[in-house]
Amino acid sequence: MPLTNSQYDAIMRAYEEKQRTARYRLEKNTQEVYEKIPSYEALDKKAASISIAHGRRLLGGDRGALGELKQSLRELSERKDSLLRENGFPADFLTPVYECEKCQDTGYVDNQKCSCFRAAEIELIYEQSHIRTMLQTENFDALSYDYYVGDELEKFTKAVQICQKFVENFHWDYRNLFFYGTVGTGKSFLSCCVAKELMDLGRLVIYFSASELFDTLSKSTFDRDSTEAMSGISEDIYECDLLIIDDLGTELTNAFVSSRLFSCLNNRHMRKKATIITTNLSLGELRDRYSDRIFSRITSNYTVCKLTGPDIRMKKKTAQASKTGGSNK
């Protein structure tokens, strides 16, 4: 998804500040050299006057002026370098210092976004996703099968494979995922694994708990003071590369929620924008709580994965408490 105008402007303002810092540093160093080596400033002025004089000759049709200008400037540059060395300055003291030498802090190389610009985009995407802290511990690198056995292990392993395939084919194969099952079996964890992989590729991923999502949509619909402020995030909810709705069913469900949920899912489906939903509800509870059309939309257009087993979060807490207790003995 392309950056919004405000996001792009924010990144470019950061580049402008970097360029100002580089110019200030260069001006400060130049002034220091002028004060210590007056003849250096004289050579700079001479180079400017020679450039003007030869420029006039070029405009007058003198074809030999360009070669002479290059030779003169080369000789002046060598003399300036010698003066710097003789006075104890490093050779690059008057060379502009940029954070990114490839683009010289402009963000672009040959009209293409520099790698540092892409890094800034990804950083912005992480900030906007709402799950930056979660992804430090919930990612494929932290994946473990230790808490699963038997049929539960088979289901989790299959879900992991589905997630990996989802990421691998994301750029060309439109898919949605629906994770349901008992509490603490890895549903939110897997959604975060997918999110991190896609965000590292520069995709815009937005995460909401169900209650946060419907609160945001409600404000954008009914709260006049919030409408303008929420308009951007509301559009991102429909247009982002991946929307994660976590813990569906924990929100206060009513006619407005059901209507907005269907509108959100349908809108994203029409745009072929991927969505991941996690819930502790069973499929029967999903049908009973929401409309038939929502149930149909999810079961028809989502890869449905059921996860079962013990509450892994509680197991981890118990194991951690045991270790802590053991270390205190």
Whether residue 168 is found in the same domain as residue 280: yes
On the question of pLDDT at 231 being above 80, the answer is: no
Whether residue 25 is found in the same domain as residue 68: yes
* Structural domain includes residue 34: yes
Whether residue 148 is found in the same domain as residue 270: yes
* Structural domain includes residue 260: yes
* Structural domain includes residue 289: yes
pLDDT on residue 230: 43
* Structural domain includes residue 140: yes
Per-residue pLDDT tens digits for 47-89: 999 999 988 988 888 888 889 999 999 999 999 999 999 999 9
User: In this predicted model, which residue has the larger pLDDT, 18 or 215?
Assistant: 18
On the question of pLDDT at 227 being above 60, the answer is: no
Left, alpha or beta for 322 (phi > 0: left; psi -120 to 50: alpha)? alpha
* Structural domain includes residue 213: yes
Whether residue 199 is found in the same domain as residue 282: yes
Whether residue 47 is found in the same domain as residue 184: no
* Structural domain includes residue 10: no
Taking the whole predicted model, whether its pTM rises above 0.95 is answered as: no
Whether residue 151 is found in the same domain as residue 265: yes
Q: Which domain covers residue 139, as residue numbers? A: 130-316
Angle of helix 224-239 versus helix 255-271 axis, rounded to 10: 40
Domain count, the chain: 2
Per-residue pLDDT tens digits for 263-282: 999 999 999 999 999 999 99
DSSP 246-259: EEETSS---HHHHH
pLDDT on residue 328: 41
Whether residue 187 is found in the same domain as residue 283: yes
DSSP 173-186: ----EEEEESTTSS
Angle of helix 224-239 versus helix 210-222 axis, rounded to 10: 130
Cα separation values, 83 from 47, 74, 86, 92, 93, Å: 15, 14, 5, 13, 12
Is residue 1 very low, low, confident or very high in pLDDT (cuts 50, 70, 90)? Answer: very low
Backbone angles phi, psi at 277, to 5 degrees: -120, 135
CATH (domain of 239): 3.40.50.300
Whether residue 87 is found in the same domain as residue 141: no
Q: Which pair of structure tokens corresponds to residue 228?
A: 């303008």
